[in-house]
Amino acid sequence: MTMKSVNPATGETIAEFPTLTPAELETRLARAAAAAPRWRRTPVMERAAVIRRVGELLDQDKERIGRMMTLEMGKPLKAAIEEAAKCATACRYYAEHGPAIVADHPVDDADHRSFIAYDPLGVVLAVMPWNFPFWQAIRFIAPAIVAGNVGLLKHASNVPQCALEIEDLLRRAGAPAGVFQTLLVGSDAVAGILADRRVAAATLTGSEGAGSSIGAAAGKHLKPTVLELGGSDAFVVMPSADLDRAIETAVKARVINNGQSCIAAKRFIVHRDVAERFTSGFVAGMQALKMGDPMSPDTQLGPLASAKLAGELEKQVSDSVAMGARLLCGGRRREPDSAWFPATVLTDIPTGAPAYKDEMFGPVGCVFVANDLDDAVRIANDTRFGLGASAWSTDAAEQERLAREIDAGTVFINDMVVSDPRFPFGGIKASGYGRELSDLGMREFTNIKTVRIRTGASGASHSGNTE
C-alpha cells in the first residue's frame, strides 16, 4: 500500500510513500521499546537539550517547512510559516520549563523523606490530524520527550511528507535511535499497535469517530489516553461589545486555517439588539476574503485539505438549507469536485440541522440570535462539544457569567481562542478528555508516583490496613 501526498490546490499527486509492512512495523516497535529504558535514564537536561535543538531547527527551516505544509494540506503559506515558528516556541518552553515540571516534588515530615515523582510511562503512540501537521505533533512531542517518554507518530495519511520531516527533525536534533519514530501506517493499524504490550499510552487529536475507536481500543487494554477531538465553539456577542473588533475577529476566528481548526469559532451567538449589525458586518467580512493560491502572500483563504472534505462540507450546508436554514453567502464549491470552498454564512438554523448540531470543518459561519444573556449561554451550551469559546462584552458582571457558565475547556473574553504552551488545552464532552500543553499536559504521560522513605528512628511500623 502507498500513502499519497496530494496538493489540494491543484489535485496533483506530489509524492507517494509505501506504508510499513508488518515486519517493518515490528522493527520500529522493538526499537522504541529498546530505547525507552535508556531514554528514561538519560538526564532530563540532556532530554531538554534535544527539544531545544528541535526548536532551533524549526526556526531555521520554517520557510521550507511552511512550504511543505502548504503543499500537502493547503493552508496559506504565511500561516504555515507561523505554525513552524509556534512549534519552535513550544520547544523552547518545554526545554526551559520541562525539567522543573517533572522534577521531584518534596513533601517532607519528621519521620519521612517523601516526594512525588513524575516518571515517564514509556512508549506513547500519538495519532495526529492533518490540519496543523507540525503543531499538533510538536505539542505532544516536546513535553513527552523531555519527560522521558519515547514517541511513535501515526500521522494523518494525507501528510506523509510532514510526518517524515518531523522524524528527521528529531534525528537531526540528536534524539537517539528509537526515541522518536514516524509510522507510515493507516488507521486500521492503530488498534493492533495499541494492543501491543510495549505501548504504554496513546494520544489522539482528531474526530469524534477516531476518538471513540481509540478510546475503546485503549480501554480494552487499560491504557491511558488523551483525546483532543472536534469542536463547535461559541462566539457570543453582547450589546456592550466593541462590535467592530468583534466582527473583525469573528471573520478571522472562523476562517483560520481555511476554517479547519478545532478551536475556530463556529457558532456566532449574537444578542438580538446587535444581531443585524453583526450579521451584515460578518457577511461583508467573509465575502471580502481573498481566496486563492495558498502560496501567495496575500491569500486569506486557500482550498480545504481535500476535495472529499469540501464535498462533505457542501453537503452539510445544503442539507441544512433543505431543513430551513437561510444561506447569506457562499455555500457551493468554486468548481464541482474541487477542494475550493468559499466563505459561507448561514442563519435561522433549525435545531436538527447539521449546521446546528455537528462540527462544520471549513469556512462556514452559523449565526444564531439570542434574546438575552441566559439565552446566549443556553445556545452556547446546547451542543455535544465543549472545546474553546469566545465571548464579547465590556460589562464585568456579564464577563464573569460568560466565563463561568459556558461549558468548555477554554473561554476567552474579548479575544479569539488560541493555544499557548503556558496554558492547558483540551475539551469536555465530545471534545475529548485530558489536557495538552502547560505543566498539566506534560504530566498526562507520567506516572505520578508517591515515594515515602521512613527516616525516623522511633515508631511502630504502619498497620497497613487502610488504603
- Enumerate the active-site residues: 228, 262
Cell matching residue 95:
526545554
Among 36, 125, 127, 379, binds ligand NAP (CB under 6 A): 127
What single-letter amino acid sits at 284? A
Q: Is the dihedral of CA 443, 444, 447, 449 positive or negative?
A: positive
Among 418, 432, 6, 429, residue whose Cα is nearest residue 206: 432
Rounded least distance, CB 72 to ligand NAP, Å: 12
Rounded least distance, CB 4 to ligand NAP, Å: 11
Three-state DSSP class for 394? coil
What track of x and - describes contact with ligand NAP for positions 433 through 462 (by CB under 6 A)?
------------------------------
What single-letter amino acid sits at 401? R
Angle formed by the axes of helices 135-146 and 44-60, to 10°? Answer: 160
Cell matching residue 302:
486557500
Burial status of residue 89 (CB atoms within 10 A of its CB: 0-12, 13-18, 19 or more): middle
Q: Is residue 211 within 8 Å of 229, Cβ to Cβ?
A: yes
What track of x and - describes contact with ligand NAP for positions 374 through 413 (by CB under 6 A)?
-------------x--------------------------
Give the CB-side neighbour count of residue 428, counting CA atoms within 13 A.
11
Among 71, 147, 229, 411, binds ligand NAP (CB under 6 A): 229
Cell matching residue 386:
465543549
Q: Is residue 74 within 8 Å of 9, Cβ to Cβ?
A: yes
Cell matching residue 120:
515517564
Q: Does 232 bind ligand NAP (CB under 6 A)?
A: no
Looking at the Cβ atoms of 136 and 390, the one nearer to ligand NAP is: 136
Among 92, 200, 105, 193, residue whose Cα is nearest residue 146: 92
Looking at the Cβ atoms of 260 and 279, the one nearer to ligand NAP is: 260
* Residue ranges in 15-54 that form contacts with ligand NAP under rule CB under 6 A: none
Residues in contact with ligand NAP, total (CB under 6 A)?
31
Q: Does 424 bind ligand NAP (CB under 6 A)?
A: no
Looking at the Cβ atoms of 278 and 341, the one nearer to ligand NAP is: 341
Among 8, 230, 330, 386, binds ligand NAP (CB under 6 A): 230
Span of 10-18, 224-232, 265-273, 324-332 interacting with ligand NAP by CB under 6 A: 224-232
Q: Does 213 bind ligand NAP (CB under 6 A)?
A: yes
* Residue ranges in 234-293 that form contacts with ligand NAP under rule CB under 6 A: 262
Span of 33-41, 204-212, 346-354, 446-454 interacting with ligand NAP by CB under 6 A: 204-212
Rounded least distance, CB 112 to ligand NAP, Å: 40
Q: d(Cα 294, Cα 70) in Å, to the nearest integer?
A: 7
What single-letter amino acid sits at 388? G
Among 119, 188, 194, residue whose Cα is nearest residue 152: 194
Q: Helix, strand, coil: what percent of the chain each, to 5?
A: 45, 20, 35
Among 102, 210, 218, 247, binds ligand NAP (CB under 6 A): 210
Q: Does 190 bind ligand NAP (CB under 6 A)?
A: yes
Looking at the Cβ atoms of 1 and 177, the one nearer to ligand NAP is: 1
Residues in contact with ligand NAP by CB under 6 A are 127-131, 136, 154-157, 186-187, 190, 205-207, 209-210, 213-214, 228-231, 262, 359, 361, 387, 427, 431-432
